[in-house]
Amino acid sequence: MFSAEGIGKNIEKAIENALLELKATREDVDIKIISEGGWFKNAKVLVTISEDAREKYEKKYKRAEEEEKETLKEKKVEERNVQGTAKEEQTPVENKETELVAVEENQETKPEKVVEPYEFLKGLFEVAGKDVTISRTEDEKYIHINVEGDDLGDMIGHHGDCFYAISRLVSALSGKQSKKILLDIGGFKERRAESLTALAKRTAAKVVKSGKYIRLQPMNPSDRRIIHTALQDDNRVTTLSKGTEPHRYVIVFPKNED
C-alpha cells in the first residue's frame, strides 16, 4: 500500500487523512490534487510514497504485517480463554482512560506548587512569539481553555505532538483540581476528531469488504477514544485496544470473523 486517496473539507485535511492511512510523513510522499473542493464538495488528493522512500516503507509495512499476524494469534487465544475481552476494551474503557485531552494524573510526580493554567499558557505563547487570545470557561465537569491566534501550527505539531505535550504540562502544573482541564489550540481538537472519525469509517468499510481485521497506528488515549466512539454503533465491526503505552493501538475487526 504505497498510495492512498484522502478526502476532507479542504486540501490540508484531505492530505492529513491520506497520511494517516499510509502511516507516513509529509516529507516522504508525493501529493497530487484531484479536486480542490468547494462549498458543497470535499477536496480530494492522491498521496503516494516517494520512490526514494519506498524501501523504508516496504520494511515498515512488512514489519506491521508480521505484527498483525502475531496479534491475530493472540486475539484468538484470548477469545478462547477470556469471555468478553473485546467488550472490556471498547469505548467504556477508553472513556475511563481519558476524556478528550484530559491527562491522567500521577499524584506521586505532581509538583506541590500549583500554576494557574492561564498564566502558564500566556507566558508560553509570549516566549514563542505568538499573538494569541486565551479564553477560559467552566461547566460541571471540566475547565475549558481555548487558545486562538494565527500561525499556531508549530505549537500543535505533527499529529498534535506539541499540543498533547502542552496539555500534559498544563495538567501537571495545575496540581490536583476538582475539575479536569480540557485544552484546545487553534481548533485542533475538532479537526483531529473529524480526521480520525473519517479514518475510522474508511477502515470499517475496508474491514467489511475484505473480511480481515486492520490494525491502526499507535495513538494516545484521546485519539483511540475517537476511533472507538466513531465505530461503537457500527454493527458490522468491533474495536479492540492492544499494546502498552505509548505504543497502544486500535484494531478493527469484522464482527462475523471466526
Q: What is the per-residue pLDDT for 68?
A: 73
Q: What is the per-residue pLDDT for 100?
A: 45
Residues near 102 by beta carbon (within 8 Å), at least 6 away in sequence = 142, 171, 180, 181, 182
Q: What is the per-residue pLDDT for 222?
A: 85
Kindly report, residue by residue over 233-242, the tens digit of the pLDDT. 999 999 988 8
Say which range, 81-95, 190-204, 237-251, has the weakest mean pLDDT.
81-95
Q: What is the mean pLDDT of residues 58-63?
A: 79
User: How far apart are the C-alpha atoms of 152 and 184, rounded to whole Å?
Assistant: 11
Q: What is the mean pLDDT of the chain?
A: 80
Give the residue with greater pLDDT, 171 vs 132: 132
Q: What is the mean pLDDT of residues 162-173?
A: 87
Is the predicted pLDDT of residue 97 greater than 60, yes or no?
A: no
Q: What is the per-residue pLDDT for 111?
A: 47
Is CATH 3.30.300.20 the classification given to domain 117-186? yes
Nine-digit cell string for 144: 475549558
Angle between helices 188-210 and 11-22 (to 10 degrees): 50
Cβ neighbours of 112 (radius 10 Å):
5
Is the predicted pLDDT of residue 198 greater than 90, yes or no?
A: yes
Is the predicted pLDDT of residue 96 greater than 50, yes or no?
A: no
Query: How many helices (DSSP H) and strands (DSSP E) are in the chain?
Result: 9, 9
Query: Domain map of the chain by residue range?
Result: 1-83, 84-98+190-254, 117-186
Confidence of residue 80 (pLDDT cuts 50, 70, 90): low
Percent of the chain topping pLDDT 70: 80
Give the residue with greater pLDDT, 101 vs 65: 65
| Topology given in CATH for the domain delimited by 84-98+190-254 | Ribosomal Protein S8; Chain: A, domain 1 (3.30.1370)
Q: What is the per-residue pLDDT for 233?
A: 92
Q: What is the per-residue pLDDT for 93?
A: 44
| Single pTM value for the model | 0.53
Q: What is the per-residue pLDDT for 62?
A: 80
Percent of the chain topping pLDDT 90: 24
Confidence of residue 185 (pLDDT cuts 50, 70, 90): very high
Q: What is the per-residue pLDDT for 98?
A: 46
Residues near 144 by beta carbon (within 8 Å), at least 6 away in sequence = 136, 137, 138, 182, 184
Q: What is the per-residue pLDDT for 256?
A: 65
Give the residue with greater pLDDT, 166 vs 111: 166
Q: What is the mean pLDDT of residues 227-254?
A: 90
